[in-house]
Amino acid sequence: MSARKLSRGGRLVVASHNPGKLREIADLVRPFGLDTVSAAAMSVSEPEETETTFAGNARLKALHSAKATGLPALSDDSGLEIEGLGGDPGVYSARWAGPAKDFSLAMQKVHDALAAKRGWEEIAGPRANFTAALCLAWPDGDTHIFEGKVFGRLVWPPRGSKGFGYDPMFLADGETETFGEMEPEKKHAISHRARAFRLFIDACLE
């Protein structure tokens, strides 16, 4: 079944309370004439993320906001998957940052978990990928999922302050700057979220 289209000038709820994520999504949809508003600005609570996949959590969050506001809602569930940690932190990426969402702490936890497994002994750095699942949900319960990935390696110590989350320790394949060092426009061109967005744009935007 083909996805329903969003029209220029329409309102879209971004089902996230994460400022970095809100900024990235607003930047990505701005050229398509959509009026974005955050779930927080609409006084929509954050649902508990109880699913075990990125797609499942994205669907849960988007449906929660769409039903609460009566507007189409776009959510993102994304995270860092590390080969040497069996895919962790994965869907628990944000939880590794603790209640204060301190990603300096989360990156240190990644470092220490890899060090315990001698993961930093790989000369080029531990293999990892970012995955993003986007879900567009409508108030009637209709949903569409779009997923993107970007592969690379981890660096230590973290480098750069331009991204958010685990960006400062992720070096995409073929790049010399971490996501934390890249200008936003460059990151938007190659990131996992940008790849999922291209699929969303092709399917849902006029």
The answer to whether 145 and 139 have CB atoms below 8 angstroms apart is no
Strand order across the 170-172 sheet = 35-38, 11-14, 73-82, 127-137, 143-154, 170-172
Query: What is 11-204's CATH number?
Result: 3.90.950.10
Pairing of strands 73-82, 11-14: parallel
The pLDDT tens digits for 6-49 are 988 889 999 988 887 788 888 888 888 888 899 989 999 889 88
Q: Annotated active-site positions, please?
A: 77
| 3-class secondary structure, 52 | coil
Strand partners, 169: none
C-alpha pair distances (Å), 130 with each of 30, 52, 133, 153 = 23, 16, 10, 10
The answer to whether 170 and 130 have CB atoms below 8 angstroms apart is yes
The pLDDT tens digits for 45-81 are 889 889 999 999 999 999 999 999 999 999 999 999 9
pTM over 0.75: yes
